[in-house]
Chain A
Amino acid sequence: MPAYVLRRLLVSALILLGVSLITFFLLYVLPADPVRQIAGRSATTATVESIRRELGLDQPFLIQYGHYLAGLLQGDLGRSYLQKTEVATLIASRLPATLLLMVGAIFCELALGLSMGIAAALLRGRVADQALMMASFVTVSAPQFVVGLLMLYVFAVKLGWFPIGGYGTFLHLVLPALTLGILGSGWYSRMMRSSMIDVLRADYIRTARAKGLGRARVVLRHALPNAILPVIAMIGIDIGIFMGGIVVVESVFGWPGIGQLAWQAIQRVDIPIIMGVTLVSAIAIVLGNLLADLVAPFIDPRIRLK
């Protein structure tokens, strides 16, 4: 197991290197000019060029990337062009908020998705099953900002149960976490339903019933652990999709996380921040997948990490 983790981490380092190269390249070929953003519309050509030189943006691509990589290897993510602060400091100050939102959202996602999926599988073919699957279809196809604004309007503005936005208490967390959770739950409920239906057909479920076990025990003790395996792998992958959603949801709810930071940076072409947030997201995805793979053998003894 330690050897496995070590090998996976080495591979992860290579993945991150690749991510940094591709992102850097995309930002390099992007027609938007960060120097224009810094200098402002009225700046003279001379000023623009001097800022460009100062930031090293007049250098060829490989040299720019080399500089960035050299800094990265020493743990230096660079400075924001506009805020003049260390990117590492900016991200560190916002990461806890995002992680909190992520945990809340994954909890909502799983609680909603898995229970809907299990219920649909057990009620297969009935009206309730069709209604649940219809609901999951709606959540899968609904845009994040629409759901977010709807939640805000109903639960914060009209009913006044939750604050309209911001960060600080548990109540602040509920609406953004629920928004992300509802959107993700559609995938999970569909996946859980089909996985559960497969498992309920399995021979060992028939064995469990032939032993005289009650329905609840058959479902929870025998079917669920087998059905949940593909879902666990999904959580790892899901963190990537989640990172995309967080940019929108943090903006809608004024949640001071890295999603909001990224959103502002993208508008202003603040390359060091975009790079930093991308790398942090990539690390989250890589670690999430690793974690999912490490959890799987505890549920299924047939899985051996090699």
Chain B
Amino acid sequence: MGATKAPVLSVQGLTVSVRAEGVERPLVEGLSFTLGRGETLAIAGESGSGKSITALAIMGLLPPPAVRASAGRVLLGDTDLLALPESRLRAIRGDRVAMIFQEPMTSLNPVMSIGAQLAEALRTHQPLSRGEARARALAALQSVRISQPERRLSQYPHELSGGMRQRVMIAMALALKPDVLIADEPTTALDVTVQREVLDLLRDLQRETGTAIILITHDMGVVAEMADRVVVMREGRVVEDGPVAQIFTAPQADYTRDLLAAVPRMGNGAPRPGDPALDAAAPVARLRDLAVRFDIHGGMLGRITHRVHAVEHVSFDIRRGETFALVGESGCGKSTIARALAGLVPHDGELEVAGQPLRGLNRAGRQAICRSVQMVFQDPMAALDPRMTVGDLVAEPLLIHGIGTPPERRARAADLFARVGLSADQLDRYPHEFSGGQRQRICIARALALNPGLIVCDESVSALDVSVQARVLDLLAALKREFGLSYLFISHDMAVVENIADRVAVMYLGQIVEMGSRAQIFGNPRHPYTRRLIAAVPVPDPAHVRSDPPRPSGEVPSPIHPVGTAPQRVKLLDIGAGHLVADDAA
């Protein structure tokens, strides 16, 4: 599209170096690209590729003094941004080049109102009165299609959802109609349907304002949908660049090909080779009418006034040897179910693990349950004690349950290490010495230590790069076959779920709205929410034409109800072969 237009920004031979212990090491090396007016250029790559550093270098926001742009030019029109003094760069920042960041939850100042933050951005660059700035701020909020824009002005960031905050960030960045907008993973932290809305919004605003966008992302689906041209980066260097269609249909570099191959794709639930025949007779976990509610205290005497109905009326079985996936967006209650299964939150209703009801267990009983349910969490760095060696971490479950002698435990840890693709001579290292994917392997090894029947994977691959993600998913599948494990696989990523799950339950506001086999859910989704989730997933194919689903209106309702009232129960109807759908949509 815009590649032939005069470049608005041109990066030539940019090198960014970090100085550590007297040695200068490049983070980005010899990066060159041009950006035309109204064009979207995607910089794609995995963690450590230098894509975010590039963005900060263009903005002049590299953390001094250790990191600096050591060579090259960044030309905005005829001005070299790298050569400008800070005072002149400041006038360009936010005015001609603006930026939005990955974490909308932390990117707004928590102690300033939305209106004040927007007005500040405007008044920094234009001589506006307070009233004018307020009017412009309101207009900016209206342009990002936020609900009740007037009210938002006086609200604080914590009163807004992640999606709304990212809209505020976009409003702030685009209020001054910059020439260039740098969007650093703008939708990575958002739910998939919110991501859809934000991507649509960015595209619409770009059409209106003609702002050129540098989109930094790891998600090839987002690249395919948004970009005109793509720069693929790896370890600070450009691997390949070209028009988006060429990158996807005729990638030149091996790395690009591998990256595209690793991207999980949706396939309408088509059958996979080796789908297991499942034994419905003896489930490893059985949930009947499970409910988890949290009390909210209020008033003078701190009485319970409201309850969070995190999980309501949830019933399903996890069969031996199956991967049961729970999908849904943040706050739908999927992680709460995981915590209830591990005995970490009190619950109502029936919950059996390995034929044992979880309620009313004594200490010993609970400990025994822990041997049959283990968890693998999202962030492996946070899940591993940084002060213990990984060998001790993997052997710790055995120690807690008093299994084996120290040499036996160590041998078992070495065994498990080999099983998850690590080597026994790494046992005495500490977690920080491993990469993200390796750390998640360590977590999996730890979960396996007690030979559990069920492993709960709570967003276990969400924080990993796609190529690493693909390998960890392969590992999980291999372990399942080898040990006859069952997984409760919790994820917001529909494409990953379609690739790994045997059966799927879709959750919305604490209740299941649709449940069935992988083929049923992805081949014949019946509930509108399921359809919306599937439709929202970015497709890694630039030729894909999106049939625009109706845009959802407003925010997800609250699961908080006053005491004495309860959310309405969603009734599930069997529409054939065990495919359950909420009766309002069946």
Contacts and interface: CB of A to CB of B under 8 A. Distances in A.
Interface of A: 3, 6-7, 202-204, 206-214, 221-222, 225-226, 299-302, 306
Interface stretch (B93-101, B260-268, B340-348, B405-413): B93-101
Given A203-B101, A204-B106, A306-B297, A210 B93 contact: yes
A202 B101 CA distance: 12
A206 B101 contact: yes
Most buried by B among A203, A225, A299, A302: A203
Given A206-B101, A211-B94, 5 more contacts: A204-B109, A206-B61, A210-B61, A299-B111, A302-B158
Contacts of B298: 306
14 contacts: A7-B300, A204-B108, A206-B61, A207-B108, A210-B61, A210-B93, A210-B94, A210-B99, A213-B94, A221-B120, A226-B110, A301-B111, A302-B158, A306-B298
Contact of A6 (B120, B169, B297, B300): B300
Contact of B93 (A209, A226, A306): A209
A207 B109 contact: yes
B110 A211 contact: no
Contacts of B103: 203
Nearest to B60: A209
Nearest to B99: A210
Given A204-B108, A226-B111, A213 B120 contact: yes
B85 to A, nearest CB: 13
Given A212-B95, A222-B112, A207 B90 contact: no
A300 B158 CA distance: 11
A212 B92 contact: yes
Given A212-B95, A212-B124, A214-B90, A207 B111 contact: no
A10 to B, nearest CB: 10
B61 A225 contact: no
A89 to B, nearest CB: 37
Contacts of B158: 301-302
Nearest to A215: B86
Contacts of B294: none
A207 B300 CA distance: 40
B26 to A, nearest CB: 22
B129 to A, nearest CB: 18
Contact of B299 (A3, A214, A222): A3
Contact of A3 (B111, B120, B300): B300
Interface in B444-502: none
Nearest to A208: B109
B423 interface: no
Interface string B215-248: 0000000000000000000000000000000000
B172 interface: yes
Contacts of A206: 61, 101, 107
Contact of B109 (A7, A226, A299): A226
B59 interface: yes
A211 B93 CA distance: 6
B91 interface: yes
Interface in B297-314: 297-300, 302
Contacts of B299: 3
Contacts of B99: 210
B52 to A, nearest CB: 11
A300 B111 contact: yes
A213 B111 CA distance: 17
B156 interface: yes
Contacts of B111: 225-226, 299-301
A302 B156 contact: yes
Contacts of A301: 110-111, 156, 158
Given A3-B300, A226-B110, A212 B94 contact: yes
B125 interface: yes
B259 interface: no
Given A226-B109, A301-B156, A212 B300 contact: no
Contact of A203 (B93, B95, B107, B297): B107
Contacts of A212: 90-95, 124-125
Contact of B120 (A211, A226, A299, A300): A211
Contacts of A208: 109
A226 B106 CA distance: 13
Given A202-B106, A213-B124, A226-B109, A207 B93 contact: no
B466 to A, nearest CB: 24
Contacts of A222: 109, 112
Interface in B92-138: 92-95, 98-99, 101, 103, 106-112, 120-121, 124-125
A207 B91 contact: no
Nearest to B173: A210
Nearest to B101: A203
Most buried by B among A204, A221, A306: A204
A218 to B, nearest CB: 10
Contacts of A207: 101, 107-109, 169, 172
Nearest to B90: A212
A216 to B, nearest CB: 12
Most buried by B among A209, A210, A222: A210
Contacts of B172: 207, 211
Most buried by B among A206, A207, A221: A207
Given A6-B300, A209-B61, A306-B297, A204 B125 contact: no
